[in-house]
Chain A
Amino acid sequence: MSKFAKKKDGDLPAVSTASLPDIVFMLLFFFMTVTVMKDSSIMVENTLPNATEIKKLEKKDRVIYVFAGKPTREYESVYGTETRIQLNDKFASVGEVGSYILAERAKKPQEIQNVLTTALKVDKDANMGLISDIKQELRKVNALKVNYTTFEGDAFNNLQ
């Protein structure tokens, strides 16, 4: 009856860790594919205001970003403390917004050039004068779809 001989108790079989690298690699590939490296560093103060009635910006390839706010402390000595516009990696004047939008639009594939959204990421302490100027520029180049990017939260917190 050696076939049914009782196993010697006491020594648990070791769990095989041979598949551990496979699992880890699977996770690794997942995170590698979803990672988006930041392509531009923000050089302006960018505390967005809060809002509740927000819509998500789907499809990141259809979005052009425009930042505005006071230059951060590093850049204060060079660019002052007035609210500035940042396009890509550099500060820009209001007049450059239009040509920037056109240049970005030309980079996109033909079929989505008409459905682009301009995301305005503006610091909550900015004045509306600058925003109005940006909006005016956007109208000039017919980039009419804008999204005022905000955080989700009670809008009345903005007033404090």
Chain B
Amino acid sequence: MPRRKGAPEVNAGSMADIAFLLLIFFLVTTTIETDAGLDRMLPPMEPPEDNVVIKQKNIFTVNINKNGQLLADEALMDIKDLRAAAMEFLDNGGDGSCDFCKGKRDASSSDNPTKAIISLKNDRETKYATYITVQNELVGAYNDLRNRESQRLFNRDFVSMESEYLNPETPSSVREELKDKVKRVQELFPQKLSEAETSSN
């Protein structure tokens, strides 16, 4: 019998099933996640040219021993109290040049937030988890102070401003505007967190 109709039509009814199958496969394998963590800058290898003399009172030393105990400014301290102690140190404003500081203006503590340095030291046997907790508290101290100033100047939290500024989906016009604000607050409380090389004993 001669064919009259040409090629027969392919039944596309099962296409949906096939597509569903693929869809479910990709649904299961997809991980839409972004990693997050604590951003830190390491000090460069070559030491700075000029030997800067830093007054001892401008340095807040935090030492973690191998048992996870904390020595902050020559005193044994619980990690829970570290944030408050770091904030008190940064916000001190000892020489009176800091007009926005709300600290005690203790002459034996830091002069100005721009001069205050937190130095973090740890033992080789310190647990990484403890180290991260301490880092988190110190970054938290900076963030709390920056939030306070940011609220005063721009009525907005620094952390939310910064995350919007860093988000690549934010339109560039908004980013430009945020950039100045973020810079301004960062200059009030610059993050000077030095990580000294590990002591081996």
Interface positions of A (Cβ within 8 A of B): 17, 20-21, 24-25, 27-28, 31-32, 34-38, 48-60, 63, 117, 119-129, 131-132, 135-136, 138-140, 142-150, 152, 155-156, 158-159
Q: Apart from A36-B30, A148-B40, A158-B129, what 11 extra A-B contacts exist at CB < 8 Å?
A: A56-B166, A119-B35, A119-B37, A125-B127, A129-B125, A142-B44, A144-B44, A148-B37, A149-B35, A156-B80, A159-B133
With A53-B136, A125-B127, A128-B126 known to touch, is A149 a contact of B36 (CB < 8 Å)? yes
Q: Which residues of A contact B26 (CB under 8 A)?
A: 28, 31-32, 35
* CB within 8 Å: A-B pair count: 175
Q: How far does the alpha carbon of A79 sit from the alpha carbon of B159 in the complex, in Å? A: 42
Q: How far does the alpha carbon of A32 sit from the alpha carbon of B197 in the complex, in Å? A: 46
How close is A139's CB to chain B, nearest CB, in angstroms?
5
B42 touches A24 (CB 8 A): no
B41 touches A144 (CB 8 A): yes
With A53-B136, A158-B129 known to touch, is A21 a contact of B12 (CB < 8 Å)? yes
Most buried by A among B16, B35, B137, B139: B35
Instruction: Give chain B interface residues in 1-46, CB to chain A under 8 Å.
Output: 12, 15-16, 19-20, 22-23, 26-27, 29-32, 34-45
B39 touches A55 (CB 8 A): yes
How close is B174's CB to chain A, nearest CB, in angstroms?
16
Q: Which residues of A contact B32 (CB under 8 A)?
A: 34
Q: Which residues of B contact A123 (CB under 8 A)?
A: 128
A20 touches B133 (CB 8 A): no
With A53-B136, A53-B140, A138-B42 known to touch, is A128 a contact of B122 (CB < 8 Å)? yes
Which B residue sits closest to A25, measured CB to CB? B19
Q: How far does the alpha carbon of A131 sit from the alpha carbon of B43 in the complex, in Å? A: 15
Contact residue among A52, A140, A145 (Cβ-Cβ distance under 8 Å from B45): A140
Q: Which residues of B contact A20 (CB under 8 A)?
A: 16
Most buried by B among A20, A21, A32: A21
Instruction: Give chain B interface residues in 153-195, CB to chain A under 8 Å.
Output: 159, 162-163, 166-168, 195
Please tell me if B114 contacts chain A, counting CB pairs below 8 Å: no
Please tell me if B198 contacts chain A, counting CB pairs below 8 Å: yes
B36 touches A56 (CB 8 A): yes
A139 touches B140 (CB 8 A): no
Which B residue sits closest to A127, measured CB to CB? B125
Please tell me if B143 contacts chain A, counting CB pairs below 8 Å: yes
Contact residue among B42, B129, B168, B198 (Cβ-Cβ distance under 8 Å from A159): B129
With A127-B126, A128-B127 known to touch, is A135 a contact of B140 (CB < 8 Å)? no
Task: Give me 22 A-to-B residue pairs in the complex whose CB atoms sit less than 8 angstroms apart, sorted by A's number.
Answer: A28-B22, A36-B31, A37-B29, A51-B135, A53-B159, A55-B37, A56-B166, A57-B36, A57-B37, A58-B34, A58-B166, A63-B35, A124-B127, A128-B127, A132-B124, A145-B39, A148-B37, A149-B35, A152-B36, A155-B132, A156-B80, A159-B68
Q: How far does the alpha carbon of A149 sit from the alpha carbon of B31 in the complex, in Å? A: 17
